[in-house]
Amino acid sequence: MKIPKFKNEAYTDWSKSANRKKQEEALRKLEAQAGKEYPNIIGGERVFSTSKFNSVNPSAPSQTMGIFQRGNPEDALRALDVALSTFEKWRHVPYAKRAQYLFRAARIMRKRRFELNAAMILEVGKNWMEADGDTAEAIDFLEFYGREMLRYGSAKPAVQLPGEKDELEYIPLGVGIVIPPWNFPLAILSGMTTAAIVTGNTVVLKPSSDSPLIGFKFMEVMEEAGVPAGVINYVAGPGGAVGDTLVRHPKTRFVSFTGSKEVGIHIYQEAAKVQPGQIWLKRVVAEMGGKDAIIVDNEAALEEAAAGVVVSAFGFQGQKCSACSRAIVDERVYERFLELVKARVESITVGPTKILNNYLGPVINKGSMEKIQQYIDKGLREGGKLVAGGKPAMTDGYFLQPTVIADVDPKATIAQEEIFGPVLAVIKARGFDEAIEIANNTEFGLTGAVYSKNRSKIEKAKKEFHCGNLYLNRKCTGAMVGAHPFGGFNMSGTDSKAGGQDYLLLFLQAKSIATKVK
């Protein structure tokens, strides 16, 4: 069967009332299932634990979206055993067949799109556009990695020596542990998991404790697509107990992690320790945080720059690893830029995201809300000037006002640490060179953007702005699978470039076979 060329999935058009009705219906249906209990899935079997935890709607925390099993180390070990035995069969499944499972899963996600969107709107507080974008990206990963597997599987990269048949075959690694974050609970989880299995590995998937429902729905999709039991084993539960057990296990061959710098470093260190009986060095792909900056030059289209900064800073409440948390602005346009940003921020609608018109939803949980508020207070204590927001936004739910703090010192805490919330620090620069220096002065290096009409400054940014994903005269969020392979430098991670042509190699090892021919 001829596979059409990869094309990014289109977004749902919310101006059409038929689409709005379908989304509302899906939201109603999922709300009617609030409080339902969901099992872990090990080897296709539904597994229940004595201990449970709730996943709640951050827009209305009294609404429990689901009750989940608090997996323990025994569950983790059982899942790992199943993944190990399944690997012996799965690795022999022809690569083209494995790719077909992903294409089938993409079709199922399209069919269940409104249901998947609803899960993200209600479980993590994405607005409709963000939730739909997340589902579209998940579909993109399935379609892209399926095609990539066909490319790697049929590749003939070895030079032929006379008198030999020389081959290079890409083979899987073994059992992997997949640990995704909650902020792209479908897209990143789907991308990490399916890249691992399409290459012939089996996995234990530990979803974030803030988004287990979406992880469970992914499992349903993969089961419906016919992926054999035991290829993906789903164990919800705390990072400490379940995650550590899996990462440390001597039979774990690789860990694929996306999340915070702190947890990433911990996993990297734990995985590096060779355990008794372990016969390999574990491979770790760790994608971590950011302190992403947008530089606004004095020669920028200022209205466009303000719009780009506001969307990048406040889309999904600033809870994207790619979110703009620093605007570095040339002093000659600084005051005017602040006025433009303030006007835009003050027009942002805040509220429960099940209502289409609410742009800014809640942050993920109470702990996060408190931490963000502490950062805001610290930013002001360290000399920042409040331009907008700064306070909780509603009485129920984890809502914060979109917050802009100006005159921030480039070395202040809120200019250096990842806040992961709707807070923008604005920093004044004395020119383009200083702006680049400030942009590069954190330990991170994930995304960045520059607004300027000056060609030589743009060229300089291409060379000097040290980040994994650089955007010029556009926002710094919204990486598209295929076009913008995603991953950062320095403490932002291992620069794995998810959604790019190098990504599947991280889950493969190459075997060279040379046969003497007469």
Q: Which residues of 207-221 are buried (b: 16+ CB within 10 A; e: fewer)?
A: bbbbbbbbbbbbbeb
Minimal distance in Å, beta carbon 444 to ligand NDP?
Answer: 9
Candidates 95, 420, 503, 507; binder of ligand NDP (CB under 6 A) is 420
Minimal distance in Å, beta carbon 42 to ligand NDP?
Answer: 17
8-state DSSP, 240: I
Rg of the chain in Å (alpha carbons) = 23
* Spatial distance between the Cα atoms of 325 and 303, rounded to a whole number of angstroms: 18
Closest of 223, 200, 254, 251 to residue 90, by C-alpha: 200
Q: In Å, how far from its chain's centre is CA 191?
A: 9
Q: Which residues contact 76 (CB under 8 A, 6 or more apart)?
A: 204, 206, 235, 237, 241, 242, 245, 246
* Spatial distance between the Cα atoms of 149 and 195, rounded to a whole number of angstroms: 9
Catalytic residue among 9, 130, 137, 287: 287
Task: For residue 504, report the phi and psi dihedrals to the nearest 5 degrees.
Answer: -65, -25
Closest of 187, 109, 185 to residue 141, by C-alpha: 187
Q: Is 225 in the site for ligand NDP (CB under 6 A)?
A: no
Q: Is 270 considered catalytic here?
A: no
Q: Which of 440/454 has CB closer to ligand NDP?
A: 440
Q: Is 258 in the site for ligand NDP (CB under 6 A)?
A: yes
With contacts defined by CB under 6 A, name the span among 35-43, 124-132, 182-190, 398-406 that binds ligand NDP: 182-190
Minimal distance in Å, beta carbon 474 to ligand NDP?
Answer: 19
Minimal distance in Å, beta carbon 491 to ligand NDP?
Answer: 10
Q: Which of residues 466-505 bind ligand NDP (CB under 6 A)?
A: 486-488, 492-493
Q: Is 263 in the site for ligand NDP (CB under 6 A)?
A: yes
Site string for ligand NDP, 41-80 (x = CB under 6 A): ----------------------------------------
Q: Is 267 in the site for ligand NDP (CB under 6 A)?
A: yes
Q: Is 290 in the site for ligand NDP (CB under 6 A)?
A: yes
* Spatial distance between the Cα atoms of 38 and 212, rounded to a whole number of angstroms: 9
Burial class (CB in 10 A: 0-12, 13-18, 19+), 166: middle
- Determine contact, residues 424/405, Cβ cutoff 8 Å: yes
| Cβ count near 84 (within 10 Å) | 18
- Determine contact, residues 476/469, Cβ cutoff 8 Å: yes
Minimal distance in Å, beta carbon 483 to ligand NDP?
Answer: 16
Q: Which of 314/486 has CB closer to ligand NDP?
A: 486
Angle at 269 between CA 268 and CA 275, to 5 degrees: 110
Q: Is 146 in the site for ligand NDP (CB under 6 A)?
A: no
Candidates 44, 61, 73, 238; binder of ligand NDP (CB under 6 A) is 238
* Spatial distance between the Cα atoms of 219 and 197, rounded to a whole number of angstroms: 13
Minimal distance in Å, beta carbon 238 to ligand NDP?
Answer: 5
Q: Is 240 in the site for ligand NDP (CB under 6 A)?
A: yes
- Determine contact, residues 487/495, Cβ cutoff 8 Å: yes
Q: Which of 194/452 has CB closer to ligand NDP?
A: 194
Tokens for 330, please give them: 């040339």
Q: In what order do the strands lie in the sheet with 283-287?
A: 45-47, 40-42, 232-234, 202-205, 175-179, 252-258, 283-287
Q: In Å, how far from its chain's centre is CA 378?
A: 28
With contacts defined by CB under 6 A, name the span among 50-58, 165-173, 284-292, 334-342 that binds ligand NDP: 284-292
Q: Is 266 in the site for ligand NDP (CB under 6 A)?
A: yes
Minimal distance in Å, beta carbon 3 to ligand NDP?
Answer: 27
Q: Is 321 considered catalytic here?
A: yes
Q: Is 233 in the site for ligand NDP (CB under 6 A)?
A: no
Site string for ligand NDP, 310-329 (x = CB under 6 A): -----------x--------
Q: How many residues bind ligand NDP (CB under 6 A)?
A: 36
Q: Which of 353/368 has CB closer to ligand NDP?
A: 368
Tokens for 144, please give them: 């892209």
Candidates 19, 54, 260, 441; binder of ligand NDP (CB under 6 A) is 260
Site string for ligand NDP, 421-450 (x = CB under 6 A): -------------------------x----
Q: Which of 262/433 has CB closer to ligand NDP?
A: 262
Packing angle, helices 113-123 and 128-154, rounded to 10: 120
Q: Which of residues 195-214 bind ligand NDP (CB under 6 A)?
A: 206, 208-210
Catalytic residue among 123, 321, 324, 418: 321
Q: Is 286 in the site for ligand NDP (CB under 6 A)?
A: no
Interface positions with ligand NDP (CB under 6 A) = 179-184, 188, 206, 208-210, 238-240, 243-244, 247, 258-260, 263, 266-267, 287-290, 321, 418, 420, 446, 486-488, 492-493
Enzyme catalytic residues: 287, 321
